[in-house]
Amino acid sequence: MHISSMTIDNYRTFRHVVFQFDRQVNYMVGDNNIGKSNFLCLLKWISHGYGFREGDFLDADHPIEIRLALAEEAGGETAELYLVQAVQEVVPRLFDRASGRQLPLEYLRCLFYIDFSLCEMPRRMMAHASMGELLSLLQHYFTESPAVISEVETMFREKGIGISLPKEHPSQAALSLLETLFGERGDGSSYQRTACLMARTALVLLMQMMKKKASRAISFEHMVTTDAKGRRFLSLLVSVDEPELHLHPYLQRAMLSFCHMILSNEEPFFLKLVQTLLGVDGLSGQLFVVTHSTDALVNDYRQIIRLYWDEKKLVQAACGASFHFDREIEKHLIMHFPEVKEALYARAAVLVEGETEYGSFAGFAKTLGIRFDHYGICLINARGESSISKIASLIRRFHVPVVSLYDRDVMGEHKKSAGVFYTDYICYEMDVVKACLSRNGRRFLDAVIADITEGGNLVSSALVKKAGAKLAIPKGYYPPRKLSNINPRDEKALEFYYFAWLYGNKGVIIGRSLADHLGKDFIPPAFTKVILAAVGASER
C-alpha cells in the first residue's frame, strides 16, 4: 500500500496543492522556505492522528483539508480518505470519500511513518537503551541455528566486512556483530566503512519497525496488507530530510539507494530479518526525500516533485509521476536527465546546442554584468539541436522558464514561440566572426586562436572543406591559408577563414577563451538577447 496522491488545503504554505506520487521513491525539491519540510511534517502528523495547531492554518477562517488516495502495489484496490479540521477543533475528523461515512481517527495510525534522520549517521546513530534492545533481537535471530550465523558472516564478508562470529554462541555472535558495525572502523577502507554504515541504517530501521509491532496503540496486523498470492507485506512510509547536510555526494546516493533497496525487499540480509522478526513476507515501502542537492537525485524525472510559486504567489507542485511523454521522447529525457537536474533548482534555464556555446555563455553574461548564479540561471548543453525542444518541454513541465538558442539555419524546422531565439547569421561561429570583424576586433579572434594553437594559425584544407560545405561555397574557391597572411581589406576572405577556423575547432575551451577575450561591444547581439531574456524570466 502506498500514497498515490494527496491534495492539501490551507496547511501552512499550502493553500491548495495537488500531489501525485511515485509508488517507490519521491524526491522533493524547490526554493527555500516554500514548504518541502512542511510536507514531511504533515505526513508525520496525519499518520499519528495528531490535531493541527492554530499556527498550521494558513487562514484560520477556513479548515485544513487533506484528501488522500492509497493504492495497492499491483494497482488493485484504492482507498480515498478525507481529513478535515477547523481551528476550533482539537483533532481532525476522518471520512471515507466514496461513502461519506465518518471513520475512527485511529485508522490513520495504519499509515506507518518513519521520520529517518541522517544527522547521527556518521556517528553512533543509536542510544544505549536501543542498543540493548537490538542486541536482544539479534540474539533471538541467531538462536535459530549455527547456519544462520554462518549465513550472516558470509553475507558481510561479501560486502567487504571481514568478521568472524562464534557459531555455537548466539549471544557472543550478536555482540561481536554490533561491535563491528557500531564501533570505530577508522582502519577500514572507504567501501568497508560505507558497508558498515548501510548495515547500521538497516538495523536502526528494523528497531523502529519492531517498536511499532510491540506498540499497543494500533494492531500491527492493521498495517499489513496481503496480495493476491497470499503474501503479507508491512506498509510503511520513510522520509529523509536534507541528506546533503551530513553526507558527501557519493554517500548521499549510496544511502538513499540502500534505503530504497530495503523498502523494495532487494537487500537479502535485511529481508531475512524482516521475515523472521516481523513475521511478514516483506515490506511495501515508499521513500520521501527532501533535498537541495542535485547529488541526491536519481536520474529519473518521474520520481521528482518540484514545489514552485505560481503567478499568484501561491505554492504549487509539479509532479514527475503525472507527466506523460511519447516513448521515444521519454527515453531521450531519461538519458539526458543528469544534465537537467540542476535546472530543477533554477529560476530560469538557458539551453544551447553545443560545447562552444556552453563554454562561453556564462562568461559573456559576466562581461555584461550578469552572474548566472545570482539570478538562479542554469546553463544547459543540449548536445545537439534536436535535443533542445525535448529537454525544454520537460523543464517547462516542472514550471521552470526556458530560453533556447538555435542556429539560424534550422529556423524553418521550429515553430515560433516565446523563449526561442536564433543566431543572427547561419550559426554561432558566424555571429562571433561578424561581431568582431565589423567592429575592428580581429585582434580578439587572433588572441583566441593563439590561446588554443600556440602560434599556429593555419586554416588547413580539412577546415576549409568543412566550412565550405556549411556555407555552400564551391570546392577550391578558398585554398588553405594562414590567417596572418590574409589582406585586412579582403573582408570576405577574413570572414571565411576565421569562420572556418572557429567552425572546425569547437569545444568548451574555445568557448571559454571567447568569453575571456570578447569585450561587451563584441558579444554578438543575439547572444545578449538570450542572456537578457533569461534574466527577465528569472525575475518573473
C-alpha–C-alpha distance, residues 482 and 488, integer Å: 13
Task: Tell me, yes or no, whether 530 lies in a domain.
Answer: no
**By percentage, how much of the chain surpasses pLDDT 70?**
96
Class of residue 430 by CB neighbours under 10 A (exposed 0-12, middle 13-18, buried 19+): buried
Q: How confident is the model at residue 103 (pLDDT cuts 50, 70, 90)?
A: very high
Q: What is the pLDDT of residues 17-72, one digit of tens each?
A: 999 999 999 999 999 899 999 999 999 999 998 999 999 999 999 999 999 999 98
Q: Residue 522 carries which DSSP code?
A: G
- Residue 318: inside a domain: no
**Do both 164 and 251 map to the same domain?**
yes
Task: Read off the DSSP letter of residue 439.
Answer: T
- Longest C-alpha distance within the chain, in Å? 95
pLDDT digits (tens, 9 = 90+) for 116-129: 876 655 455 555 55
Under 8 Å between Cβ of 446 and 483: yes
Look at residue 122 and tell me if it is in a domain: no
Mean pLDDT of 104-114: 92
Q: Is residue 378 part of a domain?
A: yes
Residue 122 has a pLDDT of 43
| More confident: 295 or 282 | 282
Q: CATH number of the domain at 81, please.
A: 3.40.50.300
CA distance 399 to 347: 9
Note the pLDDT tens digit of each residue in 352-399. Answer: 999 999 999 999 999 999 999 999 999 999 999 999 999 999 999 999
Set of cell numbers at residue 525: 547581439
Task: Give yes or no: residues 458 and 373 share one domain.
Answer: no
Are 207 and 280 contained in the same domain?
yes
Query: What 3-state class would DSSP assign to 57?
Result: strand
pLDDT for res 474: 93
CB of 43 closer than 8 Å to CB of 237: yes
- Residue 172 neighbours by CB distance under 10 Å: 15
Same domain? For 472 and 409 the reply is no
Residues 164 and 247 grouped into a single domain = yes
Q: Which three cell numbers stand for residue 286?
A: 515508499
Could you tell me if 511 and 413 lie in one domain? Answer: no
Q: Do 164 and 94 belong together in one domain?
A: no
According to the model, what pLDDT value does residue 76 have?
Answer: 62
- Quick count: other Cβ atoms within 10 Å of Cβ 213? 18
Label residue 184 by pLDDT band (50, 70, 90).
low
Q: What's residue 330's pLDDT?
A: 85
Average pLDDT over residues 402-416: 90
Please tell me whether residue 493 adopts helix, strand or coil conformation: helix
* pLDDT score for 120: 54
Residue range 284-296: mean pLDDT, rounded: 93
Q: What is the mean pLDDT of residues 516-520?
A: 98
Q: What is the mean pLDDT of residues 347-355?
A: 97
pLDDT of residue 187: 58
Within-domain flag for 531: no
The answer on 179 and 246 residing in a single domain is yes
Q: Mean pLDDT score of the chain, rounded to an integer?
A: 91
- What pLDDT shows up at residue 147? 87
| pLDDT value of residue 320 | 94
Work out the average pLDDT over 222-240.
92
| Three cell numbers written together for 256 | 538513499
Q: Which of 422, 440, 468 is a domain's end point?
A: 422
Instruction: Compute the average pLDDT of residues 106-112.
Output: 91
Structural domain tally of the chain? 4
Task: Provide the residue range defining the domain that includes 375.
Answer: 324-422
Higher per-residue pLDDT: 170 or 121: 170
Q: How far apart are CA 491 and CA 169, in angstroms?
A: 90
Helix axes of 190-214 and 268-278: crossing angle, nearest 10 degrees: 20
pLDDT of the residue at 461:
96
Separation CA 533–CA 516 (nearest Å)? 22
Residue 373 lies in a domain: yes
Average confidence (pLDDT) over 408-433: 92
Tell me what pLDDT residue 185 has: 57
| 119 within domain boundaries | no
Last residue of a domain, which of 276, 308, 340? 308
Q: Are residues 139 and 260 in the same domain?
A: yes
Q: pLDDT tier at 137 (50, 70, 90 boundaries)? A: confident
For the chain, report the end-to-end CA distance as a whole number of angstroms: 40
C-beta of residue 21 within 8 angstroms of C-beta of residue 321: yes
Better pLDDT: 214 or 467: 467
Chain-centre distance of CA 498, in angstroms?
42
Q: Which of 422, 456, 472 is the last residue of a domain?
A: 422
My answer on whether 155 and 276 are in the same domain is yes
Please indicate, yes or no, if residue 375 is contained in any of the structural domains: yes
Sign of the CA dihedral with 474 first, then 480, 482, and 485 last: negative
Pair 30, 64 in one domain: yes
Q: Tell me, yes or no, whether 459 and 510 share the same domain.
A: yes
Cβ atoms of 317 and 17 within 8 Å: the answer is yes
Using the predicted structure, report yes or no on whether residue 186 has a pLDDT greater than 70: no
